[in-house]
Amino acid sequence: MICRLIALDLDGTLLNSKKMISPASVSALQSAQQVGVKIILATGRSHSEALPYYQQLQLTGPMICCNGSYLYHPRQRQILRPLPLDIHKVERLRRWFSQQALQPHFYTYDDFVLQISLVHRKASLLRQAEEFARQELSLACSWSWHHQLDITQAGCEKGKSLAWYAQQQNIALDEIIAFGDNDNDAGMLQMVGKGIAMGNGSFLAKASSNCVIGHNNTDAIADFLYAQGFSS
């Protein structure tokens, strides 16, 4: 396949367990950029949390943030395609969280809430929150990991934001390689030309991919890209 765009999740994928990008991955991605391939981060993090990795890779385009609830272009300091949560639904969620004595994190931009993330060791509480958000409020829910639930406006997905960006760049979906490790990456992995799941990934991520590579604590991404012809 001809690759014109590489999309990468951060946590559990591009980042190792120390939250670092391996030197081999940096080199491989820079090699891809040098031959004209665009690189885009697609993360559940906010843009401020993802920015250090964007800068390390010397990227030039936007990032997909908060599971596709918006894109942010650091060089232009511009938010793109924001899909904020309905304010009335946010207030209902605040009341529900308060009743359960839960303290989620609200990701905001200006006066908009773009994502609500709840981290808890009890999966049963996370499932209750997911059920309330989905069934009572018709919101989108995705799992960044087994202990983190992310709530966004309906229609927010990494894959949909990636498709939107690709269309803006006149890039076909089958010209994209995407890397991910978790359930919130599944749609993105399924829709592109080559969807690559990490060896440490979830069952759904692996089932949605074209192939499974090594653990995120190895140089599996670099090795895969070198095998595609992006030499160091």
* C-alpha to C-alpha distances, 118 to 38, 130, 151, 216, nearest whole angstrom: 32, 10, 8, 24
Mean pLDDT across the stretch 98-114? Answer: 93
∠ CA 162-166-172, nearest 5°, is 115
Question: Domain containing 109: what range?
Answer: 87-152
Q: What is the mean pLDDT of the chain?
A: 95
Domain boundary among 99, 118, 152: 152
- Please check whether residue 67 is in contact with residue 81, taking contact to mean a CB–CB distance below 8 angstroms: no
* CATH number for the domain that contains residue 94: 3.90.1070
Mean pLDDT across the stretch 214-219? Answer: 98
**What type of residue sits at position 32?**
A
pLDDT beyond 90 at 111: no
Domain boundary among 129, 152, 175: 152
* CATH number for the domain that contains residue 60: 3.40.50.1000
Number of residues assigned to the chain: 232
Q: What is the pTM of this model?
A: 0.93
pLDDT beyond 90 at 145: no
Question: What total of structural domains would you count in the chain?
Answer: 2
Same domain, 124 and 215: no
pLDDT at 43: 97
Main-chain phi, psi angles of 61, to 5 degrees? -105, -165
Return the minimum-mean-pLDDT range out of 121-125, 184-188, 199-203.
Answer: 121-125
Same domain, 76 and 160: yes
Same domain, 22 and 71: yes
Mean pLDDT across the stretch 83-87? Answer: 96
Per-residue confidence at 232, pLDDT binned at 50, 70, 90? low
* C-alpha to C-alpha distances, 141 to 38, 78, 131, 202, nearest whole angstrom: 28, 25, 9, 16
Per-residue confidence at 94, pLDDT binned at 50, 70, 90? very high
Digit-coded pLDDT (tens) for 218-230: 999 999 999 999 8
- Please check whether residue 42 is in contact with residue 161, taking contact to mean a CB–CB distance below 8 angstroms: yes
Asked if residue 232 belongs to a domain, the reply is no
Asked if residue 20 belongs to a domain, the reply is yes
Same domain, 72 and 107: no
Domain boundary among 152, 168, 191: 152
Same domain, 72 and 102: no
Per-residue confidence at 147, pLDDT binned at 50, 70, 90? confident
Q: Helix or strand or coil: residue 27?
A: helix
Return the minimum-mean-pLDDT range out of 15-29, 90-104, 138-152.
Answer: 138-152
Same domain, 123 and 164: no
Report the side by side order of strands in the sheet with 176-180: 38-41, 5-8, 176-180, 194-197, 211-212
Angle of helix 23-34 relative to helix 220-227, nearest 10 degrees, comes to: 30
Same domain, 10 and 76: yes
pLDDT at 104: 96
pLDDT beyond 90 at 110: no
